[in-house]
């Protein structure tokens, strides 16, 4: 008599048969990933080597002090008469502050544009509108910088003045001197316009992947368009929205020319929260402003600033990966 255990099916091993094309494609992806890692490692190593003289001389104070003075270009150990001091805290915090402002403006705009393209606009207008957004995302940053300086700033001054007049009792909108032309708010506005198309493109692609069955089920239960977007589309697309926002944040952190045109660099004091004050900083703008006239020691300091920005960008990307992965389990 056959026992019950003998009648139970035995698990079968699953064999994956890869074709020659699959193996070639997999090899290309592996090589591409290794090359990208080696390139990043090489950039990090070169920046660290170039920044070593300043980091050894100033240590951690390079990242916490608020003074940038090239002096005679010699260290005290080299017989300096007018010793230099390098501290980039205002620039580090300025980069973060401007990036936060730009993402805070661009995220709702980009998500709104993507929702309009996928769910609200008439079908005959979708192609032209999508093409326009894609083209705006490809505009060089110097064009945005010039446009921001000559076109946006005159209007932005009026908006900043209105915010200061109506909401000046809130610390972030208060100013010591009413000069609104080159402030973190202006730089954030320009960057927001730059990264809004990036957020919109990524969000649109994610919204288009929402399963139609989920939308049809919500409609069958009597859900309105807004209810479906709020309770179905946005929760399903949370990870993609976060990824698009962090992609825009990465560009905002490293943007150079556009910020240089619309931000007044201020080295001696950290502008912690006054976004309308005509003073601030940015690591990328610091590099472009000082590199042309810098001596060997100051160039080393600028490489150290670039190293700090490189690390911040890596940390932002790592945070984005963690947020995206954690959001997948909340759908």
pTM over 0.85: no
User: What integer pLDDT is reported at residue 49 of this predicted model?
Assistant: 92
For the chain, the structural domain boundaries read 89-294+318-328
Degrees, nearest 5: CA angle 306-312-318: 140
Q: How far apart are CA 110 and CA 237, in angstroms?
A: 14
Dihedral angle computed from the Cα positions of residues 248, 250, 252 and 256, in that order, rounded to the nearest 10 degrees:
-140
User: What integer pLDDT is reported at residue 2 of this predicted model?
Assistant: 53
Topology (CATH level 3) of domain 89-294+318-328: MetI-like fold (1.10.3720)
Q: How many CB atoms lie within 10 A of CB 71?
A: 17
SS3 183: coil
- 18's CB contacts (< 8 A; 6+ apart) are 26
User: What integer pLDDT is reported at residue 42 of this predicted model?
Assistant: 93
User: What integer pLDDT is reported at residue 35 of this predicted model?
Assistant: 94
Q: Which residues of 175-201 are buried (b: 16+ CB within 10 A; e: fewer)?
A: beeeebebbbbbbbbbbbbbbbbbbbb
Q: How far is CA 10 from the centre of its chain?
A: 52
User: What integer pLDDT is reported at residue 327 of this predicted model?
Assistant: 64
pLDDT by residue, tens only, the chain of 331 residues: 455 555 666 777 777 777 878 888 888 999 998 999 999 899 999 999 999 988 888 888 888 888 888 877 777 677 777 788 888 888 888 888 888 899 999 999 999 999 988 888 888 888 888 888 888 878 887 787 778 778 888 888 888 888 888 888 888 888 887 777 788 888 888 888 888 888 898 888 888 888 888 888 888 888 788 888 888 888 888 888 888 888 888 888 877 777 877 887 777 778 788 888 887 788 888 888 888 788 888 899 999 988 998 888 888 888 877 877 776 655 5
Coarse DSSP helix, strand, coil percentages of the chain, rounded to the nearest 5 percent: 70, 0, 25
């Amino acid at each position: 008599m056959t026992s019950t255990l003998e009648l139970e099916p035995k698990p079968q091993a699953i064999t994956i048969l890869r074709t020659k094309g699959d193996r070639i494609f997999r090899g290309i992806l592996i090589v591409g990933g290794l090359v990208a890692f080696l390139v990043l490692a090489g950039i990090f190593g070169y920046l660290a080597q170039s920044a070593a003289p300043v980091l050894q001389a100033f240590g951690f104070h390079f990242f916490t002090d608020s003074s940038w003075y090239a002096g005679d270009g010699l260290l005290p150990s080299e017989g300096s008469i007018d010793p230099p001091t390098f501290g980039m805290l205002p620039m580090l915090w300025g980069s973060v502050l401007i990036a936060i402002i730009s993402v805070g403006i661009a995220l709702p705009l980009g998500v709104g544009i993507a929702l309009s393209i996928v769910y609200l606009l008439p079908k005959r207008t979708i192609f032209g509108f999508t093409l326009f957004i894609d083209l705006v995302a490809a505009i060089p940053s110097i064009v945005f910088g010039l446009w921001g300086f000559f076109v946006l700033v005159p209007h932005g001054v009026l908006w900043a003045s209105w915010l200061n007049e109506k909401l000046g009792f809130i610390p972030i909108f208060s100013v010591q001197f009413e000069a609104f032309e080159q402030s973190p708010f202006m730089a954030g506005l320009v960057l927001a316009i730059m990264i809004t198309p990036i957020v919109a493109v990524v969000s649109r692609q994610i919204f288009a992947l929402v399963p139609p069955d989920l939308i049809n089920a919500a409609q069958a239960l009597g859900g309105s368009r807004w209810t479906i977007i709020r309770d179905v589309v946005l929760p399903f697309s949370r990870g993609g929205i976060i990824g698009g926002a962090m992609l825009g944040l990465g560009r905002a952190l490293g943007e150079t020319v556009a910020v240089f045109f619309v931000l007044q660099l201020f080295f001696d004091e950290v502008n912690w929260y006054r976004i309308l004050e005509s003073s601030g900083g940015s690591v990328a703008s610091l590099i472009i402003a000082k590199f042309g006239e810098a001596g060997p020691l100051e160039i080393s300091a600028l490489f150290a600033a670039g190293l700090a920005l490189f690390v911040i960008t890596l940390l932002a990307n790592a945070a984005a990966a963690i947020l995206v992965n954690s959001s997948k389990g909340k759908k």
